[in-house]
Structure 1
Amino acid sequence: MKQLALDIGLASGPTLENFQPGSNAQALQHLRLAAGEAAALHSPVPIYLWGAPGTGKSHLLRAAYEALRAQGARVGWLDPAMRWPSAFDERWSAVLLHDVHRYSEEQQAAAFNWFINALDPAAGPPRWVLAAGDLPPADLALREDLRSRLAWGHVFQLQPLAEDELRAVLHRQAGERGMALAGDVVDYMLHHFSRDLGSLTGLLDRLDGFALRTQRAVTIPLLKSMLQGD
């Protein structure tokens, strides 16, 4: 009978604390301050994050969402997978708009409505707006009124991590999973696969699961075996 591996060393989800900032420290600091203020019903300045895939936009939006929810705040969340966005909810303390560059016309209309109601609500103080996309506001293929509002507050371009920073993240994530990750395995991952952090984290997840199922140490031969479908 095949033995089931126990999930002993599960990695934690995205948080503001486990985000590796690299050259994005200023953006991270603004998010930490704004997330605390939003939960207290203050009126932080809107923030828009942009950058290439793998630079940490999704991590930061999900981390901000969890930080707000942990403080008891209600949060509006809109991403391209939500085909029928709800109306603005006056109980929200913040509005988070994920992957705005992929919004449909209906989603753009909802995002604009949420943005306007957040900054000028019918009741209560202004709400915080945090948004992210692959391009700077001026280059987004969105309706003009939404595009211009995404540029109203702080706009940060997120930069990819340097190689030593990627190594540090991979070793930290491996440690969170209880994995022993040798330097040569990290070398192989960095030189044979996409170097964006999202892809590398996904590869690490697969490798961790494969090592648990096969009860083998994490090595380059194990990684190759996994990729070959063994």
Structure 2
Amino acid sequence: MTQQLILDLLPPSPPTLDNFEAGQNQAAVQALRDCRPGRAIYLWGPPGVGRTHLLQSAASGPETLYFHHGDQAQSLKAIATADTLQHRLIAIDNVESLDADQQAALFALYNRWREVASTGRGFALVLAGDRAPLAMPLREDVRTRLGWDLVFRLEQLSDEARAQALSKRASDRGLQLSPEVVNWVLTHYTRDMRHLSALIDALDRYSLEKHRAITLPLLKDLLASGQPANQTDN
């Protein structure tokens, strides 16, 4: 069984706020936990800090919507101009990639958000991008709206925090990772925690299949058996 097939059988767990390794981002996570209709939160940071994880977590409940740049602008505009809103929270990912029509829809949505924020028809906005609001490659009136309420810069996990998260993930599966294995993973593998967690799951499965203890040679055998899915979670 190739490593890719193993990862297909053991996909990363669905994103939640509870399984997000917050590190220095505790304030942003708490703001999402406390987010209520009438609030807006903008998260920004480089690839791998967990932007998509957090937005999908925020939009995982009832009456929520997750929108990314690949979706049709018309759907966002329809929400912004609807007589009655069906969503209590709208999450919009990869704001930096919105085209002109999507930016126009976001502008209308922000205006709608502000208009009803203090009423019983209010809704929450949670957005994410790869840079600070005023540095976004967007029209000026959209850039300024990104900073209307709460703004958080997301920080990468330190190697120490990432190592602790890996060890905890392994411990939860009844595994013991040697410092040698942990250090090698942190040095040679993606920094994305969801894919690191998936690697631990795959390593557990692979060790059972091969009837071998988890060692650095076993890890290298696993990775050599197929190219890992090193897609970055924003």
Q: Which of 70, 73, 76 is the equivalent residue of 2:65?
A: 76
Deviations 1:93-139 (A, max 9, x none): 01111111122223222322332223324984321111011100001
Secondary structure in 2 aligned to 1:30?
helix
Q: Which of 76, 99, 115 is the equivalent residue of 1:120?
A: 115
Other-structure match for 1:56:
50
Deviations 1:52-89 (A, max 9, x none): 111121221111112xx1xxx31122112324551206
Secondary structure in 2 aligned to 1:77?
strand
CA drift of 1:198 comes to 4.7
What code does the residue aligned with 2:101 have? E
Other-structure match for 2:229:
none
Other-structure match for 1:47:
41
Q: Percent identity?
A: 36
Question: How many aligned positions are there?
Answer: 214
TM-score, length of structure 2 as denominator length: 0.77
Other-structure match for 1:219:
215
Q: Is the 8 A contact 1:61 1:130 kept in 2?
A: yes
Unpaired runs of 5+ residues, structure 2, are 227-234
Secondary structure in 2 aligned to 1:20?
coil
CA drift of 1:179 comes to 4.5
Q: Is the 8 A contact 2:10 2:202 kept in 1?
A: no
CA distance in 1, matches of 2:206, 2:94: 31
Matches within 5 A, 1:31-180: 31-34=32-35, 37-38=36-37, 43=38, 45-66=39-60, 69=61, 73-86=62-75, 87-88=78-79, 90-121=85-116, 124-177=120-173, 179-180=175-176
Secondary structure in 2 aligned to 1:92?
coil
Other-structure match for 1:23:
24
What code does the residue aligned with 2:187 have? H
Distance 1:132 1:221, change over 3 A: same
What code does the residue aligned with 1:28 have? V
What code does the residue aligned with 2:169 have? Q
RMSD: 3.0
TM-score, length of structure 1 as denominator length: 0.79
Question: Which fold has the larger relative contact order, with Cα–Cα distance below 8 Å and residues 6 or more apart in sequence?
Answer: 2
Q: Which of 183, 188, 197 is the equivalent residue of 1:187?
A: 183
